[in-house]
Chain A
Amino acid sequence: MSQTLSLSQTTLDAVDRFRARKVSVEVEARPLSAELPTPTSFNPAARKAYYFYLMAPAIALLAFISLYPFFWLIVMAFQKGDMGAVEWVGFKNFTDLASDGRFLSGWVLLFKYSAMCLFLQVGIGVLLAVIVNGSRYEKFLVTALLMPMMMAPAVAGLLWLFLYNGTFGWYHWIFQSLGILETGSILSSAKTSMYALVLVDVWQWTPLITLIALAGLKRVPRDQMEANMVDGASPARNFFAIVMPNLYPVLLIAVLLRFMDNFRFIDHILVLTGGGPANSTKILPIYLFEVAFKFFDLGRGAAIALVLLVVTIILGKILVGVFDRPTSGGR
């Protein structure tokens, strides 16, 4: 009797150990993971240690290239000077930042740049997705839209440097012919240089928003739209009442991802303006690049990098929260 009882206990444990973490199948969930079927196995599971051995090499490698540098970063942020001849300076690197105009304006410019990029990308991207969705030429259009994303951002920067050139750039000519721009390249004036960068980012990454929105649009339940239409709703009403609520979660992900990418990718800015003219495009990551790898002030650079990392981690936390969010009712 006790034998069978203990046996069933172990099998229960085994089943429990294989209960997969609940993974939502919503659009906003990591979609590759459909919910696992309830395990029916009564074979004992492998010891956890077995799985840890499999995991160990990757975790160790990742620890070496991400955790170890992270601790170094913290150490460096409290030091001054180069490796070899370092000097502990306490919080000086951080307190210096508070009075560093470039650091503060770097944040302002970063947010300004991101706001402009995101506004245009989401607006154009969603509009494009709505038009392209279900069109006869959808396949061709999507393929054409993919092109800019495949280009190395640095190469895209160089290409646009050519297009923006004040004497032989075709886009410069187009701007002038349209009467938008007077003389002088768009990059050479502190007033317009930021717009030049935004245009490049919009050119390269609006398609991503379109593709994401398109994936969201495919999931809009058709029956709901039909029911709504039968009830006499206009197409516009239909769009805002049925399509938008379904689109909203994917768009949130898209916006967060693009926002974080603005922190991550500065290649095209480095190539196009390098932060100039007159610091008008010196967004924070560019400033960090300059401090750390032009002036080799690694201590100060580490302090900026730490602040930047903390902000990204907070944003990442929000993003992962959105990934894992359960269904928002109604379906």
Chain B
Amino acid sequence: MASRDVVHYDTPLQRVLRVLAVIFVVLYLIWTLLPFVIMFVSSFKDLLAAFKLPEVGDWMGIGVFFDFTPTYKHYATLFQENNFGRYIMNSLIAAGGSAVISVIFGSLAAYSLSRVDFRGKSDLFFWIISTRMAPVVAVMVPLFAIFRSLDLVGTLPGLILAYTTFNLPFAIWILKGFFDNVPYGIEEAQMVDGATRFQAFTSILPLVAPGIGAFIVLCVLFAWNDFLFAAIIGSGGAKTLPVATRELVQPQNIQWGAIMAAGVVTTAPMMLLGLVIRKYLVTGLTMGAVKE
């Protein structure tokens, strides 16, 4: 890293490029964050204020955006009239349930896959990963037929099971990487001290605990943000937040204020969680293919 200390003089071209780069990043930041600002602010606006726009081309009129008196009525509508408390619970149970199931079963499977070698292991692995990558709509066609005959459509257990179709393979795939990093010697030492094999396994769990924790959160995130499964398999009895938000769009009456408020309610917790597991995010979102 010594080269960092070398004094470096910019050529004029580099200086121009530098300025251009800053402009680009600033513009990109505005483009990325503006929708959030609009969503957040609009959720506190009366509908009339939310619909106010300056004249076309009147860039100076942007101030209209901040010209409003804050109101909490959209949030009140959500919880009093639209039963959002219940949908939050549904989302929590469905996402949390499938995350816990996936990580418990997944860590057992990941551990054993990491410790044993057998013929056809790579095929088994490919099957597991392809389950995760399959298009949700395509998976849902037979799953819907099966769940309907088992009376699981519209129930939370059905939705938990549906989410497990993508969370379990994800958990196995990622957690195997964690267990690969734990040397077998630790388990051996435990067994020399008189632990059984299963106790040896539980003794190495604390070593992978941070990873497991992060991936419980990621599983929750995937399930919480899902719309398709919830719309079809959860329809009726197990409405989750994204579906409930979508249902605020009615042909005659689109309740924009409530939708923006629901958007804030749905997005804010996931953003916080995302920041908490920031370190594992890229690994998780790329199925462990890229590590920071």
Contacts and interface: CB of A to CB of B under 8 A. Distances in A.
A and B assemble together: yes
Nearest to B51: A168
A215 B292 CA distance: 5
B227 A154 contact: yes
Interface string B124-137: 11111111011111
A21 interface: yes
B134 A309 contact: yes
A120 interface: no
Contacts of A43: 188, 191
A289 interface: yes
B138 interface: yes
Given A131-B21, A212-B282, A152 B289 contact: no
Contact of B197 (A46, A57, A143): A46
5 contacts: A39-B184, A131-B25, A170-B53, A257-B287, A267-B227
Interface of B: 1, 3, 14, 21, 24-25, 28-29, 31-36, 38-39, 42, 50-54, 56-59, 65, 101, 105-106, 108-109, 111-118, 121, 124-131, 133-146, 148-149, 161-162, 164-165, 168-169, 172, 174, 176-178, 180-181, 183-185, 188, 191, 197, 201, 211, 221, 224-228, 232, 241-243, 245-246, 249, 256, 259-260, 262-263, 266-267, 270-271, 273-275, 278, 281-283, 285-292
Given A144-B32, A162-B260, 9 more contacts: A17-B117, A36-B180, A48-B118, A62-B131, A146-B274, A151-B270, A170-B38, A317-B126, A319-B289
Interface of A: 17-21, 23, 27-28, 30-34, 36-37, 39-41, 43, 46, 48, 50-52, 54-55, 57-59, 61-62, 65-70, 72-73, 76, 83, 124, 127-128, 131-132, 141, 143-155, 158-163, 167-168, 170, 173, 176-177, 203, 207-208, 211-212, 214-216, 218, 222, 226, 235, 250, 253-254, 257, 260, 263-267, 270-271, 285, 288-289, 292-293, 298, 301-302, 304-306, 308-309, 312-313, 315-317, 319-320, 322-323
